[in-house]
Amino acid sequence: MRELTAELLVRCDAALIDLAVDESGETVVTLTEKRVVAAWRRADGGELWSSMDQGLTRIDCAGRLVLGAANVPVAATLDLRNGEREALYAGPEEGELVTAFVAGARGRSAWCGAGPGLVRLAEDEKWSWHPLDGGGVASLALAPDGERLAVGGRDGSVRFVRTKDGATDDLVLRGGESALGALAFAQKSLLAGAEDGSLRAWSLPSGRELFALPPGGPALVALAPSPKDGWVACGEPNGGVVLRGLVKGEELARWTPRVAAPLAGLVVVGRERDLLVALGTGVHVIEP
């Protein structure tokens, strides 16, 4: 097994709780436990801007916007160029706590997993509620074409929702019984990592299972696939990252941080397909 090495790109003044990258892969956006959102150049780690206490707990990038969600279904949009707030997408006055968040295509909407369903937030300040089976929403992933949303349930199932109207597809993927803490699309497949450490992959749109790795290892809290290279990076709660093959799930390489800390984000970026890891107060770069 190959051991990976990493270099520090960004050091923040507080622990990180989320990480996002713009569509070009050249701007890295961080969110700290102090609720400070900041943007950095991926080329050299230079700070572009920072925006104090936006009250956000999750972030994502879409188009020229940074979208962030609070603990309840409310989303704010920030201009990626300067960090200025542009709009507030309001949700229900008394909403469930947000358990997962993803920006819609071009930032015109956002989806929050909240309790037993989804809240869709939109730029016209209209929100909609979409109840789902699955024991509650544990994770979300937006399809590359922006037309479908994969919803990982706390019962280990995956359901698909059309972003156009919130309707649920007939296809339901069944995994184990553990909550799915991470989902990721990889070309014509979907990957799901569970809290019991299991990892599954299905072919789309058929739903045929490609492989299933049994539980027993650390929980999987983040997935970042690189289909062109044939691997997926699997993030563990203590900051460890394991590269596995996309065909069989075999272990290819591993990165173990010198000091264990909560993993806040895992993203593949650029033509080089470097791996960004948000860990503790720093963003690290791994060249797989």
- Any domain includes 132: yes
Count of domains observed in the chain: 1
Question: Which segments in the chain show pLDDT lower than 70?
Answer: 53, 124-125
- Any domain includes 7: no
pLDDT in tens, 55-113: 899 999 998 899 999 888 888 999 999 999 888 888 887 778 899 999 988 888 899 99
Question: What pTM value is reported for the model?
Answer: 0.94
- Any domain includes 268: no
How far is residue 284's CA from residue 281's CA, in Å, rounded to a whole number? 10
Give the containing element (helix H, strand E) for 93.
none
Predicted pLDDT of residue 11: 97
How far is residue 157's CA from residue 160's CA, in Å, rounded to a whole number? 10
Predicted pLDDT of residue 284: 97
- Any domain includes 17: no
Predicted pLDDT of residue 227: 86
Predicted pLDDT of residue 88: 86
| Residue 124 structural domain | 31-237+249-262
